[in-house]
Structure 1
């Protein structure tokens, strides 16, 4: 029930909510709580615009941008915990079906990949190939890495999730070329230049 409905039905509404009812841009406590709860359910997406547009559709009287601004400037410090999710962002429940709170904030989907990240990933791929040469295809684009590879990447380099490492490999490193990026990165360092992260699929 929102504040306006509470007033119509004669239920108690806080002073702050009564004030906000007269200000179309104001947020009620109920709306703030809804925003926090939705973010807790989607911790990996808390930096994305799409999440806040989805919340806006549920609230109905604020835009996604205004809700995102509200969260970042007023509510973020109230986010004392989120709910546990798996590497794909799916909520994990306990034995009775309740969400599991955790104070450990997972990486966000928009955690930017750096040139060092791309090099680390490409190097790990080449090391994996070296460990199993008999199953390595002629074209690296046909290489299928085991799921445990990305689990280990997330464990060794927790600045990105397993899903993020996997997507970076499929959508950026493979199209660019694993060995090609390794050569580029090392050549840039040798020339005392700063390597760039992979920004497109065409390579150099």
Structure 2
């Protein structure tokens, strides 16, 4: 069939020449098989589209109506292969191995009438090894060029245009899944994730370096095998060791192959080498790993499954315990005491701290502009009650803070997630200091973001640290202690925070 032997009119009619017989390629009973087949009836030329029915005028019985059977297999015909190849040659600039080109081609009436999805068209080209032979030249605006005779100009310079995945891309997707969705891990270490409808579509709107289908396939083909938690731990360890993290597909190929194998067998669980097994390691470090390429973008997503669970749990919440009754705990009585105002920093080698009244980190500053103040105190009717709630939340926290759980719990009480991260980061994860600064923010009417005392890194401390002056470093070590200084210095290095100058 020649390139121009088929055309479409506005009613969806397809005119073509050539046989409608199967080319003998493999079949599958799935909707979009890996071998390029798709559910439905056989495709034949010369057809009119009427809803979900196809009329085949040249069938044995004139005017025979065939309806697709969703449980049958439709093989790609020679004609469909030729049409697909021709359309790819016209759009090769979109990248013959990407998702966008097949999304565009699938919307053509020819393929719409045959119910060929972007996934099935792409899989078919994989089966054909992307052997298009040649493509048509285009100008700088991707318009097809023709020769003196009006024919498209052929060329063998074929555009691939695949955007490779970086380690930051993989961490971004893993981090989002880890924080936003619920993960269940089986005894072999494989994770199950329930993705809400259109999760990848919404994700790709914000992070448009890849298409929704590309992000989905990245998770399916690599990250689900590598393991979400495993990759996050690997990335953090590489940063801690001053190494450059690699994308999941090349970070540890032997690990990927082994995981693929044990998923199909009864082999015991395989642990990723040289990383902690417990997820507390992630919770302690994940918030401090910056992704500069995505700093300006924030993915707003409410997990509907978590909202349902929250509503169910709230429906059976126990009656609150009255703190006025005899026999109340020491913790409950303590909540009745007024919170002391922050005091000025103590002098250490001539150092006097100053109140922190604004964010100087670029990421936190952007979050403030996007989400508003850390706590909307204008709508808090009873500050004392809010302080009691905060104290109760921290009372169930262990000596070691769990940032992920704490952030979720405080968010339910109106504390912006970015502020919780900020407090943990500036207070060196010290539970008492985080709580003290949080309560101080309420008591000062939002005027002070942090308390001034050793262990809490104010803006002034950060600015001194950023100067890399040995004399100032000595002062900071004297004020915060050697251990506190080293820990904060490590976090600043890991997070690669950008500061407003």
Q: TM-score, normalised by structure 1?
A: 0.50
1 or 2 for the larger relative contact order (CA 8 Å, sep ≥6)? Answer: 1
Larger radius of gyration: 2
Task: Answer 1 or 2: which has greater helix percent.
Answer: 1
TM-score for both structures, normalised by structure 2: 0.22
